[in-house]
Amino acid sequence: MKTLAKLLSALLALTLVGPLVIAAPEPDPVPTKWQLDVEVGDLRIAQVETEIGVQRYFFLTYEITNHWGTDLLFFPDLQLKTDEATLQRSGRDVPAAVQDEIMRRMSNPLLEDQISIVGQILQGPENARTGLAIWPANDLDVDQVTVFFAGLSGENKSYYVADPENPDARQRINLRKTLMLAYDTPGELGYEDNEALELTEQLWIMR
């Protein structure tokens, strides 16, 4: 069975336009637009006591550094998908108390939540910043987990696809350069607190 990452790559590589099949845009081999350097930590599972009992959450940390030559604005957009589930944006349906507890466990005074880290990223490694992303782990009986991390690059491209409601028309699709991180998790995930998932693929895509 193909992994989710391979399926996504196949879908992104080919787009049906009328009777033709055309290649969807791919990131430039060498960045021509601004881009932040990023190091992503392990995707882990946390068990947190809440008002309705123990709940589980996916979380990861990341460090961004600006080597582009000018200060840059950073607006992180991290989304997580498990198998056929809908995309979840980080921070959504995550109580503030859960975020505070996970940050406390990390014991990193420089760690910033998704709101605090929004803003200007100054140049140089001395101005690197570390962020946190959290998602509810509502379903742990999954085979794949994929994280899409946008907001790291200014590269974007457009192309046209057939309009399903009007075969003679075309729809314009705007894509952003996005870091995709795929994790294989065959069978039901364990419930060990702070359990790390295995990263199986990491690549830049246009999404």
Domain range list for the chain: 29-155+176-206
Q: Which residues pair with 112 in a beta bridge?
A: 131
- Counting residues of the chain whose pLDDT is more than 70, the rounded percentage is 86
Using an 8 Å Cβ cutoff, are 117 and 74 in contact? yes
pLDDT given at position 154: 97
Average pLDDT in the chain: 87
pLDDT of the residue at 19: 44
Provide the 10 A C-beta neighbour count for residue 167: 9
Give CA–CA dist 68/87, Å, rounded. 30
Which amino acid, 57? Y
Q: Which of 11-15, 55-59, 122-126 has the lowest mean pLDDT?
A: 11-15
Instruction: Check pLDDT > 80 for residue 103.
Output: yes
**Of the ranges 1-10, 98-107, 133-142, 176-185, which one carries the lowest mean pLDDT score?**
1-10
Fold for 29-155+176-206, please state it.
Answer: Immunoglobulin-like (2.60.40)
**Spatial contact of 78 and 148, defined as CB atoms under 8 Å apart:** yes
DSSP code per residue over 66-123:
B-SSS-EEE--EEEEEETTSPPEETTTT--HHHHHHHHHHHT-TTEE-TTTT-EEE-B
Instruction: Give CA–CA dist 159/32, Å, rounded.
Output: 18
* pLDDT band at 22; cut points 50, 70, 90: low
